[in-house]
Amino acid sequence: MNTRPIMLFLVLVVAANSAPAVAEGPVWQPLTGGMAWTAPVDFVAHGARCGQRAPHEFPEVLPDAVPSDCTLGATSILPEYEPGDVLVIPVVVHVITSGSGTGNLSDAVIESQIDVLNEDYLALPGTPGALGTDAAIRFELATTDPAGLPTTGITRTANDTWWNDSDEYGFKTTLGWDQNRYLNLYTNNTPYLGYSWFPQWGIGWEDGVVINYQAFGRTSIPWPYNLGRTATHEIGHYLGLLHPFEGGCGIATSPGCYTSADLICDTNPDATETYGCPATTSCGGYAVPVENYMEYTDDACMELFSAEQANRMRCSLINYRPNLYTISSSGEIFSNDFEAGNLDAWSVVSP
Ligand SMILES: [Zn+2]
């Protein structure tokens, strides 16, 4: 696709919308041994819980298989997208620090974030993610870089300009690895907890997930976002999920619930974002889905994707990110033959 107009548009939009959150600071306060948001309420005040743009803010790009079963306007829940073989996504974590080194996350924190993702996307028994739907999606730090060389799946860059960047200054274009083949996770001091990119917008330099370094991984930072669920949430967007409150209540029953609000039917109608972890109702008595990873609630409150969210994520992965994942089935790993540009050419690459 021609990305030039989109790039320009993105720069303008980001500059216009994110500048106040930075300019009104300092909302981030330095503390010994790290940084911390002054209070969780700051995120509410600044609208910065999630910086994901609205679904229709950018043009939608249809995949090869048209019509898609998971556009930004509708979802078709189909058996072929039900969780089965595990889809494995290689991850590269780009740690961006300030020039003086603030934000230099340890390998242990990064590994804890990968652990949390797998607990949540695989609903691993005995973990905080156990109550959710097993989406059969697994995340692994990349072991091979774009040049084919061995890698830890972690890069580290000190850059004062990129440290507070929300896409204005090009860290993605410089640091990003082939977005078709890697999930690029970036950490810096973005004024949001995190923001992401819907695959339905097309795969280019904009693609990837940015997480504020203090909300990345399982940490001891004393605030409600220290259990790694910000990445669980933002990667939900990366795999095509909308907020339960997207566009308001929408239509409660099928088939209208597949074309309104979050485009699926097994998350309750929800008028607006919810913070904390209240037991409350919305849209005429429906329980607010505070336990859903795609809400705005505290990390400890979030504990599940619904079955239809899992179906839509796998639909998005298969249709919009066909070269991103390998398939783990019966002890073998199958890889898509992206080199040949053949989206249907799966071959065994290991063991
Ligand atoms: Zn979000």
pLDDT for 330 equals 77
pLDDT for 168 equals 78
pLDDT for 191 equals 80
Contact criterion met (CB below 8 Å) for 252 and 271: no
Ion ligand 1 neighbours (CB, 5 A) are: 50, 52
pLDDT for 133 equals 98
Taking the chain (351 residues) in runs of 10, the rounded mean pLDDT of each run is 40 35 29 40 65 90 79 96 94 97 96 98 97 97 96 97 84 95 95 92 94 92 90 98 96 97 97 93 97 96 98 95 88 64 55 50
Cα of 240 vs centre of ligand 1, distance in Å, is 11
Q: Which domains does the chain have, with CATH numbers?
A: 4-241 (3.40.390.10)
From residue 199, how far is each of 81, 156, 235, 260, 314 by CA, in Å?
16, 26, 11, 19, 12
Cα of 332 vs centre of ligand 1, distance in Å, is 34
pLDDT for 172 equals 94
Cα of 50 vs centre of ligand 1, distance in Å, is 5
pLDDT for 19 equals 30
Which residues are marked as active site? 234
pLDDT for 11 equals 36
Cα of 71 vs centre of ligand 1, distance in Å, is 17
From residue 297, how far is each of 50, 88, 126, 253, 278 by CA, in Å?
11, 27, 22, 25, 9
Cα of 293 vs centre of ligand 1, distance in Å, is 9
